[in-house]
Amino acid sequence: MTMLKQHAVPVGPCHLVITGGAGFLGVRLARALLAQGDVAIAGSQPKAIGRITLVDRIAPPADLMADARVAALTGDLNALLEKNDRLAPVVADDVAVVFHLAAAVSGECEADFDLGMRSNFAATLALLQACRALATKPMFVFASSLAVFGDTPGQPLPPAIEDNTLPTPQSSYGIQKFVGEQLVADFTRKGFIQGRNVRLMTVSVRPGTPNGAASSFLSGMIREPLAQVRAVCPVAPDTAVALSSPARTVQGLICAAQTSDQDWGPRTALNLPALTTTPREMVAALERVAGPAAAALIDWVPDPAIGNIVNAWPARIHAVRASGLGLLAEGSFEDIIREYIRENPYAVKLAVGQ
């Protein structure tokens, strides 16, 4: 009945791997999978989750380490794959699902070309080869990115990104993600893995502290005011941006692993849905949720360098294929703010309305 039973995967509880498993999305994904308790790989009968191995440079948070089903493998992904330790392999013989989220971020890859080629390009190929060596055709969900799209002279982006829009990456990060998609597609076609390419959108609202990404302000301008801290919006108020909440992003990754080949469709990457909004609308939503005091904490200080980057991103995603799988963008940015507040009560110091 199931795809995997045909490929000699052991019956019983199954073993999942998440690279980048101690990062923001990896941790959320692990928590969601553990809460779900089982996984229906490619639409097959659900199997209990017996183990999730979180591979990352840093250790996972305490709540995850306290779960008996969680194992941590800490170190550089390339080094771990090269070492291929028999006692602690990245991909053990019983692994049925790999979520490959680990990556150097766009800013790093642009500043250090070789780092990006190693962390994104070589690591993805080595991980795919490790999965191929299993000969059990594991489910492999690859987290690609909206960054495969970018404006280029003489070839502007279309008004909306369609499922078959030609990617024209304008960064090494975007190129490396797009190359990863191709490798996943061919390893899938050859029957080495059961691959799923998923393009993630800009995630907002990210908890925690600002990072080096050009998109960092799209979380900061909500997160900081809610914590009674001033925040800068470096782009024009009416700049269109495409966002997805952490919850919808994780939902997309899990959906990819659980959708049958037939429903998934072509091996080309699936664009996740995104809410198109603007900083002006985001701040208006913040004001509705947390009052004018919150909105007053935004400093509108244009930074042309960031503006140029953000303006080159697509702002409208016509995600027909994702919609067919039940993956939809949030209805409003206000919903996204309320989700953040619900999930991060200790990070919110302003009084918020219902």
Summarize as ranges the residues that interact with a copy of itself (CB under 8 A).
Answer: 113, 152-155, 164-170, 172, 175, 178-179, 182-183, 185-186, 189-190, 265-268
Looking at residue 77, its amino acid is L
What is the closest distance, in whole angstroms, from the C-beta atom of residue 201 to a copy of itself in the complex?
19
Compare residues 89 and 180 and give the one whose CB is closer to a copy of itself.
Answer: 180
Question: Of 173, 187, 264, 313, which is the active-site residue?
Answer: 173
Compare residues 171 and 251 and give the one whose CB is closer to a copy of itself.
Answer: 171
Radius of gyration of the CA atoms of the chain, in A = 20
| Cα–Cα distance measured from residue 281 to residue 171, given in angstroms and rounded to the nearest whole number | 28
What is the closest distance, in whole angstroms, from the C-beta atom of residue 126 to a copy of itself in the complex?
12
- Return the residue matching tokens 């190693």: 118
Q: Which residues of the chain form beta strands (DSSP E)?
A: 14-19, 38-39, 47-56, 70-74, 95-100, 139-145, 194-200, 202-203, 231-233, 241-244, 270-271, 275-277, 298-300
Compare residues 212 and 265 and give the one whose CB is closer to a copy of itself.
Answer: 265
Compare residues 140 and 178 and give the one whose CB is closer to a copy of itself.
Answer: 178
Compare residues 104 and 179 and give the one whose CB is closer to a copy of itself.
Answer: 179
What is the closest distance, in whole angstroms, from the C-beta atom of residue 261 to a copy of itself in the complex?
10
Q: Which residues of 65-217 form beta strands (DSSP E)?
A: 70-74, 95-100, 139-145, 194-200, 202-203
Compare residues 182 and 211 and give the one whose CB is closer to a copy of itself.
Answer: 182
DSSP 8-state code for residue 193 = -
What is the closest distance, in whole angstroms, from the C-beta atom of residue 230 to a copy of itself in the complex?
36
Sign of CA pseudo-dihedral 181, 83, 253, 245: negative
What is the closest distance, in whole angstroms, from the C-beta atom of residue 35 to a copy of itself in the complex?
32
Q: How would you label 112-144 residue by residue, b for 16+ Cβ within 10 Å and e otherwise?
A: eeeebbbbbbbbbebbbebbbebebbbbbbbbb
| Cα–Cα distance measured from residue 40 to residue 34, given in angstroms and rounded to the nearest whole number | 13
Contact 241, 276 (CB under 8 A): yes
Six-digit token string for 243: 């966002």
What is the closest distance, in whole angstroms, from the C-beta atom of residue 167 to a copy of itself in the complex?
8
Rounded (10°) CA dihedral 132, 133, 139, 144:
-50
Q: Mark whether 173 is an active-site residue.
A: yes
Compare residues 265 and 304 and give the one whose CB is closer to a copy of itself.
Answer: 265
Pairing between β-strand 14-19 and β-strand 95-100 as defined by DSSP bridges: parallel
Residue 179 contacts by C-beta under 8 Å, 6 or more apart in sequence? 121, 124
What is the closest distance, in whole angstroms, from the C-beta atom of residue 144 to a copy of itself in the complex?
13
Query: How close are the terminal C-alpha atoms of the chain, in Å?
Result: 47
| Cα–Cα distance measured from residue 13 to residue 34, given in angstroms and rounded to the nearest whole number | 13
Catalytic residues: 173
